[in-house]
Amino acid sequence: MKITQAERDAVYKTIFNRRDVRAEFEATPIPDDVLKRILTAAHHAPSVGFMQPWDFVIVRSDETKQKLKQGFIQANREAEALFEGERKEQYRSLKLEGIQEAPIGICVTCDRTRTGPLVLGRTANLDMDLYSSVCAVQNLWLAARAENIGVGWVSIIHDHVLHQTLGIPEHIVPIAYLCLGYVSHFHDQPELEKRGWLKRQSLNSLIHEEQWQDKSHK
């Protein structure tokens, strides 16, 4: 199946305008058919040995979101304590999640036992299953952006909070807790870049020809 130039440009537009959303969520509900399309895209990510190790726990209730928010607050307090001086002040000024504002939360997981103990392609590197679930996250994120829906990845939360709150079995690994919703607007740059937290690295400094080269940013 051939992708046309216009279609290619649409893919790039979506990739370059994807953002990690925290503050811009609106309450507008996400229709079921739109959510279904986004999850179908996630389910069509590559997976090692076609094991499809992902599951999607959909969170809608205020009660569940409140428990997860408490988990964030706890983990964020621990994180804050690690920063010092001006950096701590800056850290505290950042909004780092939109758990309660986003109409939908999705926990993407990895079932490391799916399809049995022996998985094609997961013999030299046992983490390939985790990586497959991350590919599903990125497919989901781009599909949502293509639907003009924002996604925010909440990484400042402990796994045990996700396990307990969502009833996820012990052997299932939570990979990402994602907040989804329509947004007032998408930022034109990543917020951490806009706010001066870190700069974007030049692409050239990340490219090595044939062999690893020492680059200044190391």
| Contact set for a second copy, span 179-198 (CB under 8 A) | 186, 188, 190, 192-193, 197-198
How would you class 116 by CB atoms within 10 Å of its CB: exposed for 0-12, middle for 13-18, buried for 19 or more? Answer: exposed
Distance in Å from the first CA to the final CA of the chain: 41
Q: Does 31 help bind a second copy (rule: CB under 8 A)?
A: no
> Under the criterion CB under 8 A, does residue 22 sit at the interface with a second copy?
no
**H-type helices in 94-196, by residue range?**
128-146, 159-166, 191-194
By CB under 8 A, the residues from 110 to 129 that bind a second copy are 111, 114-115, 118, 120-125, 127-128
Residue 27 as a binder of a second copy (CB under 8 A): the answer is: no
Q: Enumerate the β-bridge partners of residue 180.
A: 104, 151
Between 16 and 86, name the residue whose CB sits nearer to a second copy.
16
Handedness of CA 138, 148, 90, 216 (dihedral sign): positive
For the segment 131-190, give every residue that binds a second copy (CB under 8 A). Answer: 131, 134-135, 137-139, 141-143, 145-148, 153, 155-159, 166-169, 172, 175-176, 186, 188, 190
- Closer of 101 and 133 to a second copy (Cβ): 133
